[in-house]
Chain A
Amino acid sequence: MSTIRLAEIAHARSGDKGNHANVGVIAYTPAGFDFLGKYLTETRLAEYLLPLRPRQVERFEMPGILAYNFLLRDILAGGASRSLRTDNQGKVLSAAVLEMPIPAPPNLAEMQRKKDA
C-alpha cells in the first residue's frame, strides 16, 4: 500500500494547556475532511504519538472549518513549567502530526490544497 504524508491533505496547529496539549488538524477540502473522519481516529493518533506517552487522546469535530481537534492529555512531561523537553509547550506536535504516514486515498487530487489557500 502506498502512503502519503498527512500534510498532503491537511494543515495543523498545536499548543499547550498545562500538561495537556492539543493539535487541530484542518483538512484542505471536504473530501479530505471525510477521509480524516474515518482514518484519523483517536486510537491511530495515540499510537503515532505513543513515544510521548499521552494518557488519553480525545477527538472533537469542527465541521464548519473542516477540522478535528485532538486533546492530548498529559503528553507534555510536566508542561511549560516542569517539562525538561525542548518543546515543553507542544508547539511542534503539529509538525510531527503532519509527517504522519497515511494510506494514499484513491481520490487524493480532491483532497489536496488549492494553490492560493
Chain B
Amino acid sequence: MLIRVGNGAGFWGDNLDAPRLLAEQGALDYLTLEYLAELTLSILAHQRSRNPEAGFVADFLTVLESLIPALAAQPKLKIITNAGGMAPAVCARQTAAILSRSGLGNVRVAAVSGDDLLPRLDELIAAGEPFTNLDTGQPLGDVRAKIASANAYLGAEGIVAALGQEARIVITGRVADASLTVGPAVHALGWSWNDWDRLAAATVAGHLIECGAQVTGGMFSGWTPAHSLDNLGYPIAAISESGQFSITKPAGTGGRVSVATVSEQLVYEIGDPRHYLTPDVDADFSQVQLVQSGTDQVDVRGAKGNPAPPRLKVSMAYCDGYMASGTLVVCGDQAAAKARVCGEQILSRLETAGVTLQRTHIECLGTGDTLAGVWRRADDALEVVLRVSVHDASREAVERFVREFSPLVGSGPPGVTGYTGPRMKPYPVFAYWPTTVARDRLAPVVDVRGAADWGN
C-alpha cells in the first residue's frame, strides 16, 4: 500500500494554476493546499470582523473552481486544506455551494475547527493557562487587551476523523502544516497514534512538501541560468505503510527533485532538528538520509519519533500600531549619497512638523543595505532604490509620513524618480505572540456533510 500526497499551494498567494496541474498530472490520492503563515490568521480575523462571510482564504474557492473537472474525473481524489482560517464552516459552506452547482452535490465536505481560543481566552486564563510568551518570557498581561487572534495548532486527529466519515474535501483552521500530510497517511495506511517513527516519517514528508515548489527547484541555491523554472512541478510524497517515502514531481514538469533540493527544504525554518514538535509527534530530523532513487525522485529514510508533546503551540497576534514604507528611485552621480539625504530629509521634515515616530529605518537598496554591514558595499551605483519604513502607535503620524514622499520629486536632490504608483497606505501591525496550551484543554470539532446539506 502506497499513497501519493501532492501539495499544490505553499502559502497564501502561491500560483493559482499549480493545484489543478498537480491534480491532473500527479496521479494523486490526496491533494493538500497549505495557506496559513504564522500571522495569516490575524489578517483573516481582521477581515471577519468587517464581514461575517469572510475570514478564510478566498483563493481556495478560485482554486476549487479549477479543480472541478479533476474531482469529477478522479472519484478517489481527496483535498485537504487549511484554507478555513478563522472560519472553516463558512469556507465549507461556500465550497459546498460551488460543488452543488457543478453537479457534485454528493461530495462530502468537512469543516475541522476547535483551534480558535480567542472566545475562550479568559476562561483558559482563569483555569491556569498563563500564555507566557515562549520567546521572551513576558506575561500575557502586557498585551491581553490587544489580542486580535489566538489559535492553537491542532494535529492530524480531526483530519483523520473527517476522512473516516468519508469526507472528500477537508477544510481546517489552524493545524500544524505537516499534519495535512500526516492525516491522510494515518487514515489510509492504518497507523496507530503511537507509531512514533511512522508519524515522524509522515511529518518529515509533510514538512518537505508543505512549501510547494521550494522542494522541486524553487529557491534552490544551486540555481544557474541553465535550470529552467518554467512550468515548475509541484511536489508529491509517495508514502508506504512502513513509513518509507519518496519525494517526486509529475513527469514532464520543470524544476528538479534532487538530494540537494530536498536537503535545502529539510532545513527550511527548523530549529533543533532533534525536536521538530507537532501535536502528532516529537520528530527527530537529525539522522534523516536522502538517496536519489530515480529521475526527480529522492528516497527519504531515518526519521525517528518520540511521544507527542503534552502542550500545543499557540499562535497569538496582538494589535501593535501601524506601519508604512515607501520607495523612490534615485539616479545619477552619487545616487546612494543622494538617496540617503532624501531619506533623512523625510524624517527631519516630520520632526520639524512635530511628528515623532517610534521606529524608523532607511535603506538604499542596491548598495548592500538589505543586509547592511554583512556583505560588501556597492556605493558607486548609478541608480538605487530608497526605501523608508516607519512604525508608530498613531495612525495619523504614519499617514503624515506617507505624505512626505512626493514633495521630494521637486524639492530633493536631482535624479529622483519612480514616484508614480498610488500612494502607499498605513497598515495595521499584528505582532506575533508565540505561546502554548495544555493539549487536554481542546479537541478538534469535526462537521462532515454532503455538499447539498451545507445549507446553501
* B partners with A: yes
Residues of A bordering B, CB below 8 Å:
7, 11-13, 15-20, 22, 24, 26, 48-52, 58, 60-67, 69, 71, 74, 78-82, 84-87, 92-96, 98-99, 113, 117
Residues on the B chain within 8 Å of A19, using CB: 135, 432
Shortest distance from the beta carbon of B23 to any chain A beta carbon, whole Å = 27
CB <8 Å contact, A81 and B288: no
Residue of B with least CB distance to A68: B267
For the A-B complex with A13-B267, A64-B290 known, give 17 more contacts whose Cβ atoms are closer than 8 Å: A11-B222, A11-B263, A15-B269, A48-B374, A61-B286, A62-B266, A65-B290, A74-B135, A80-B38, A81-B430, A82-B391, A82-B429, A82-B431, A84-B360, A84-B389, A92-B370, A117-B259
Residues on the A chain within 8 Å of B258, using CB: 117
CB <8 Å contact, B266 and A81: no
CB <8 Å contact, A51 and B273: no
Contact A65-B374, Cβ < 8 Å, known A71-B271, A82-B431: no
CB <8 Å contact, B266 and A98: no
CB <8 Å contact, B361 and A85: yes
Contact A81-B373, Cβ < 8 Å, known A64-B288, A67-B263: no
Residue of B with least CB distance to A91: B219
Residues of B bordering A, CB below 8 Å:
37-39, 135, 219-222, 258-260, 263-274, 285-290, 302, 317, 320, 323, 325, 359-361, 363, 365, 369-376, 387, 389-391, 429-432, 434
Shortest distance from the beta carbon of A55 to any chain B beta carbon, whole Å = 10
Residues on the B chain within 8 Å of A7, using CB: 221
- The 5 A-B residue pairs whose C-beta atoms are closest, nearest first, are A24-B267, A51-B373, A84-B361, A15-B269, A84-B389
Residue of B with least CB distance to A99: B375
CB <8 Å contact, B320 and A13: no
CB <8 Å contact, B372 and A51: yes
CB <8 Å contact, B320 and A113: no
Residues on the B chain within 8 Å of A86, using CB: 363, 365, 369-370, 387
Query: How far is it, in angstroms, between the C-alpha of A17 and the C-alpha of B83 when the chains are bound?
Result: 21
CB <8 Å contact, A11 and B372: no
Residue of A with least CB distance to B271: A71
Contact A62-B260, Cβ < 8 Å, known A94-B221, A96-B374: no
CB <8 Å contact, B266 and A65: yes
Residue of B with least CB distance to A13: B264
Question: Can you list 29 pairs linking A and B with CB atoms under 8 Å apart?
Answer: A11-B220, A11-B260, A13-B265, A15-B268, A17-B271, A22-B270, A24-B268, A24-B270, A49-B374, A52-B371, A60-B271, A60-B274, A60-B286, A62-B266, A63-B286, A64-B287, A65-B263, A66-B263, A67-B263, A82-B432, A84-B323, A84-B390, A84-B391, A87-B370, A87-B371, A94-B221, A99-B375, A113-B222, A117-B222
CB <8 Å contact, B371 and A13: no
CB <8 Å contact, B374 and A51: yes
Residues on the B chain within 8 Å of A16, using CB: 269
CB <8 Å contact, B371 and A92: yes
Residues on the A chain within 8 Å of B272, using CB: 58, 60, 71
Query: How far is it, in angstroms, between the C-alpha of A98 and the C-alpha of B375 when the chains are bound?
Result: 10
Shortest distance from the beta carbon of A96 to any chain B beta carbon, whole Å = 5
CB <8 Å contact, A13 and B219: yes
Shortest distance from the beta carbon of B186 to any chain A beta carbon, whole Å = 25
Shortest distance from the beta carbon of B277 to any chain A beta carbon, whole Å = 12
CB <8 Å contact, B286 and A13: no
Query: How far is it, in angstroms, between the C-alpha of A79 and the C-alpha of B38 when the chains are bound?
Result: 11
Residues on the A chain within 8 Å of B372, using CB: 51
Contact A62-B286, Cβ < 8 Å, known A80-B38, A86-B387: yes
Residues on the A chain within 8 Å of B434, using CB: 18
Shortest distance from the beta carbon of A43 to any chain B beta carbon, whole Å = 16
CB <8 Å contact, B289 and A64: yes
Query: How far is it, in angstroms, between the C-alpha of A58 and the C-alpha of B157 when the chains are bound?
Result: 33
Residues on the B chain within 8 Å of A18, using CB: 38, 135, 432, 434
Shortest distance from the beta carbon of B200 to any chain A beta carbon, whole Å = 14
